[in-house]
Chains A and B, each alone.
Chain A
Amino acid sequence: MTDTSVPAAPGPTDRNIPRGKRGALRWWVLAFLFAFLAFMLAPIFLALNNAIKTATDYATNGPLALPQSFTVEGLLGFWSYVDFTSKIWNSLLLSAAVALFGVILSLLNAYAIGVGRIRGGRATLVILLLGIMIPQESLVYPLYYLAKSSGLYDSLWAPIIIFTVLQSAFGTYLLSAVMTTFPHEILEAARVDGANRWQILWYVVTPILRPTLAVLATFFFIWTWNEFLIPLVLLVSNANQTVSVAMGALSGQYVSQPTITAAAALLGITPTIIFFLIFQRTLTKGVVVGAVK
């Protein structure tokens, strides 16, 4: 249609030459993206910037000025006030347990559906997925009631069991999709060698799926770390609360002490940043796995 007498593209590197020379625009685009990045990260930077100031410094120089003073009083004060060590420990325990048990449960479910091709496998998957789609509000009161009557109320075991089951629905969905495409020859060969179903799962399937299992465990860990409603309802006593719940309970408590709130926010952010740095690769790769089947 367009009358361009340009010859067919000779090679991929050619693309850079005409485009790269279009002048100042590229720097404007870059500047805009950096401005957008600054905006996205500004709240986090502000928390860091003000968590280490004294209250007077904050009041006189404002939240944007770089610290003229340095104090860890806010951080330490908040840490000991909410007993942050125990919050971190509870969150770690809960998230790690769910990551481990959730992956095992997903593996067992997916083995039956993906490799075993049991009848009703697809229907089972749909029901599991419906289970995680429905709002947790429609489960939370009965779960609260059941936890109370079974003595698991205010124990980490209640959310561990609940999240293991809830997270494994997604895990089952993902892993059974992967296992359906599992090379049949390998399974057949193992069978011929006399391996039973359990051995095939444990010695053949699991090692091959290890990278996917790692992604899944990472997801489960972070999702559980961030969960709010169910831990809020089930873990009442201070000693059993998670980081997420402790943060939520804070709302508006320190309006008059902005540097302490900044310190609290910073403490809440820090574990996530650490996970982000550790899991960055797995995470960004994993979203692909999770979203596009």
Chain B
Amino acid sequence: MAMQTTLRRRSSSAYWLYLFPGLFGFLIVVGIPFLMNIGVSFTSWRGIGMPKFVGLANYARLIADSAFWMSLEHTLFFVVAMAVVPTLISLLVASVLFDYISVRFGQGLSSFFRAGYYLPQILPISVAGVLWGWILNPHGVLNMILEATGLGGLVGNWLGDPDLAILSVGFVMVWLQIGYSLVVFMAGLARVDPSLYEASELDGAGFLQRFWYITIPMLKPEIFVIGLTTTIAALKVFAPVYVMTNGGPNNATLVPSFFSFYHFFSTVRVGYGAAVATAQTAITIVLAAVFLWVQSRQTEEGDHD
């Protein structure tokens, strides 16, 4: 027995060799750059020459910078547009497809809808941005359609009006995100025992009751996973803003990712950009930790039942 344990331990340490390339790569691509970024955030640096240590000056400036707070507000909005709204819509659509369409019209039709709704999700975001920029620009498709159908009063500068721009970008994000949560929810429903639905139906539960008392509780793990992944994605939104509005008009769609990018490569205040990125990272990690903590508490409670 004792010999076996030592043998096992010896062989176990030999497996480190297999981890070596991965860890080395991770160090080069993530570890060192991450620490460099934090280091640079305490300096004033133009990208060339020696960075000058300035202590917490960048962070002090950040806290006083109204543009930064504005970008955080927009992030909250994107959490709604990417995590909350698509999740609600796809919960409903998934349960209609699973509990209604596939029962009455067959599995094939339900899969067809799922595939169709999923398509926008796999477009490169920059392509989606070009597409929607074309539709939403002042002389774009949407305004042409509105004018042609006698709704000329509704014509708007969808991406150029500070009040409308963020709503437009948020709308595009909803369009992009629905497919992701839908596919995950449909997959989750596949492991639900159909007899549960049949039994409750015989007990007189209507669609909405089945939705509320069966579908939602059954999909709790998926809702958590989707909530976590889409919230984190919302904190990192970059490409749609870069492509559609460039953060404008008047910072109306500014988000932290674009804010740091702007300081890295446009104003070349690298230290300040690094501070923005570090703050954004801290927020992301805290939020993910809270999410995972709530999730583990939820599952514990579930075990006690």
| Contacts from A to B (Cβ < 8 Å) | 1-2, 4, 6, 9, 12, 15-16, 19-20, 26, 29-30, 33, 36-37, 40-41, 43-44, 46-47, 50, 62-64, 105-106, 108-109, 111-113, 115-119, 124, 127-128, 130-131, 133-146, 161-162, 164-166, 168-169, 172, 197, 201, 222, 225-226, 228-229, 232-233, 243-245, 247-248, 250-252, 255-256, 258, 261-262, 264-265, 268-269, 272-273, 275-276, 280, 283-284, 287-288, 291-292
A9–B244 CA distance with the chains assembled, in angstroms? 55
Q: A269 to chain B: which residues have CB within 8 Å?
A: 123, 127, 131
Q: Which 6 A-B pairs have the closest CB atoms?
A: A116-B15, A142-B33, A268-B127, A248-B126, A288-B187, A142-B36
Residues of A within 8 A of B256 (CB): 135, 137
Q: Is chain A's binding surface mostly helix, strand, loop or mixed?
A: helix
> What are the residues of chain A within 8 A of B33 when measuring CB–CB?
138-139, 142-143, 146
B103 & A15 in contact (Cβ 8 Å cutoff): yes
The residue in A33, A62, A106, A169 that gathers the most chain B C-beta atoms within 10 A of its C-beta is A33
Instruction: Name the one of B28, B30, B93, B139 contacting A36, with C-beta atoms under 8 angstroms.
Output: B93
Taking CB atoms, residues of chain B closer than 8 Å to A64 are 145, 148
**How many Å lie between the Cα of A77 and that of B178 in the bound state?**
34
Cα(A251)–Cα(B128), bound, Å: 11
CB distance from B65 to the nearest CB of A (A): 16
- Whether a CB of chain A sits under 8 angstroms from the CB of B295 is no
Of B104, B105, B118, the contact of A284 (CB 8 Å cutoff): B118
Shortest B16–chain A CB gap in Å is 6
Residue pair A258, B280 in contact (C-beta under 8 Å): no
Please state if A135 and B25 are interface contacts (CB–CB under 8 Å): no
**For window 116-160 of chain B, which residues contact chain A by CB distance below 8 Å?**
116-120, 122-135, 137, 139-141, 144-145, 148
Whether a CB of chain A sits under 8 angstroms from the CB of B78 is: no
Given A124-B23, A131-B31, A272-B124, 20 other A-B residues pairs in contact with their CB atoms under 8 A: A12-B198, A26-B105, A33-B96, A40-B116, A50-B141, A108-B19, A134-B285, A135-B284, A138-B277, A139-B34, A142-B32, A201-B18, A226-B122, A247-B129, A248-B242, A261-B130, A268-B130, A284-B114, A284-B183, A291-B187
Least CB distance from A225 to B in Å reads 7
How big is chain B's contact interface, by range?
35 or more
Q: Do B127 and A41 touch (CB < 8 A)?
A: no
Residues of B within 8 A of A287 (CB): 180, 183-184, 187
For the complex, is B108 an interface residue (Cβ under 8 Å from A)? no
Partner of A43, one of B11, B132, B198, B273: B132
B40 contacts partner chain A, Cβ-Cβ < 8 Å:
yes
Beta-carbon contact of A112 and B18 below 8 Å: yes
Quote the shortest CB–CB distance from A151 to chain B (angstroms).
15
Closest B residue to A130 by CB, please name it: B285
CB pair B130 A172 closer than 8 Å: no
Bound state CA distance, A40 and B232, in angstroms? 24
Tell me whether chain B's interface is mostly helix, strand or loop, or mixed: helix
By a beta-carbon cutoff of 8 Å, the part of chain B in contact with chain A is 11-19, 21-23, 25-26, 28-34, 36-38, 40, 47, 93, 96-97, 100-101, 103-105, 113-120, 122-135, 137, 139-141, 144-145, 148, 175, 178-180, 183-184, 187-188, 190, 194-195, 198-199, 201-204, 221-222, 225-226, 229, 232, 235-236, 238-239, 242-244, 246, 256-257, 260-261, 264-265, 270, 273-274, 276-278, 280-281, 284-285, 288
Please name 23 pairs of A and B residues whose Cβ atoms are closer than 8 Å in the assembled complex, sorted by A.
Answer: A9-B202, A43-B132, A46-B135, A105-B25, A118-B12, A133-B284, A138-B274, A140-B264, A141-B40, A141-B270, A141-B274, A146-B33, A165-B26, A172-B22, A228-B124, A233-B265, A247-B129, A248-B126, A251-B133, A261-B134, A268-B126, A272-B127, A287-B187
Given A133-B288, A138-B34, does the pair A117, B221 have CB atoms closer than 8 Å?
Answer: no
Give CA–CA (A47, B16) in the complex, Å: 52
Would you call B116 and A41 a contact (CB within 8 A)? yes
List of B residues within 8 angstroms of A111 by Cβ: 15, 18
Contact status A63-B145, CB under 8 Å: yes
- Assess whether A108 is in contact with B18, with CB atoms less than 8 Å apart: yes
Distance to closest chain B CB from A288 (angstroms): 4
In contact, A108 and B257 (Cβ under 8 angstroms): no
A41 to B131, CA, bound (A): 12
